[in-house]
Amino acid sequence: QKEVEQNSGPLSVPEGAIASLNCTYSDRGSQSFFWYRQYSGKSPELIMSIYSNGDKEDGRFTAQLNKASQYVSLLIRDSQPSDSATYLCAVNINSDKIIFGKGTRLHILP
Amino acid sequence: DAGVTQSPTHLIKTRGQHVTLRCSPISGHKSVSWYQQVLGQGPQFIFQYYEKEERGRGNFPDRFSARQFPNYSSELNVNALLLGDSALYLCASSPDRGTDTQYFGPGTRLTVL
């Protein structure tokens, strides 16, 4: 059973601090990795994708991938109250199937 | 530009009934994927359709079926509804085959009584 694991949280971070979200996956053959943000009652929204080992930065967001350790993370710098949401890690098993983790609830404390 | 649209927004059914959910992808997108999201869980992959053919299937029973039409819109059908089928059903569209760049619709909230 291919799996994607995330700590469900909630993760509480003071406003302005760095939020660090982590994800591990079981399928060593996975090539594509994604972070989605989901506000309560809304649908998921893609915020980052990463395909190669290392870091990828986009504004306040940095995705980190370590395929040897089967580990993906998302850093959010200068956290804002509007960042409070559930963050879903997703992994492509093959080009036609994607597996989501259960999500980590992030709460930014004003 | 219009995003992914889904209908209906909410639906209440009773056990044993059948339901059809509909999805219209973003204009120009040829791939549609369906997901089930139970409260407190991440979305679970049900199907992917590309160019009107099933390209991927998740671990769901045969009660779940789908199809894609020539205009790339899609329907998800669920027969013999169970209480456990109560969930948010999400549709996502992608420009081409694959799930790398997909955009989600607002979802259909199905309640089975």
Phi, psi for residue B12 in degrees, rounded to 5: -120, 125
* A46–chain B Cβ distance below 8 A for any pair: yes
Question: A42 vs B58: CB contact, 8 Å cut-off?
Answer: no
Neighbour count for residue A17 (Cβ, 10 Å): 13
User: How would you write the pLDDT of chain A (110 residues) with one tens digit per residue?
Assistant: 778 999 888 999 999 999 999 999 998 888 899 999 999 999 999 999 999 999 999 999 999 999 999 999 999 999 999 999 999 999 987 767 889 999 999 999 99
Cα gap B3→B23, rounded to integer Å: 11
Neighbour count for residue B80 (Cβ, 10 Å): 12
Pick B40 or A65 by higher pLDDT.
Answer: A65
Q: Return all residues near B71 (Cβ < 8 A) that are at least 6 apart.
A: none
Q: How close is the nearest chain B Cα to the Cα of A110, in Å?
A: 24
Neighbour count for residue A47 (Cβ, 10 Å): 18
Q: What is the pLDDT of residue B1?
A: 61
Question: B44 vs A95: CB contact, 8 Å cut-off?
Answer: no
Q: What is the secondary structure of B45-103 as a DSSP string?
A: EEEEEETTEEEEE-S--TTEEEEE-TTS-EEEEE-S--GGG-EEEEEEEESSSSSSS-E
Question: B99 vs A95: CB contact, 8 Å cut-off?
Answer: yes
How many degrees, rounded to 5, is the angle at CA B57 between CA B11 and CA B38?
40
Question: B58 vs A46: CB contact, 8 Å cut-off?
Answer: no
* A69–chain B Cβ distance below 8 A for any pair: no
Question: B104 vs A103: CB contact, 8 Å cut-off?
Answer: no
Q: How close is the nearest chain B Cα to the Cα of A100, in Å?
A: 6
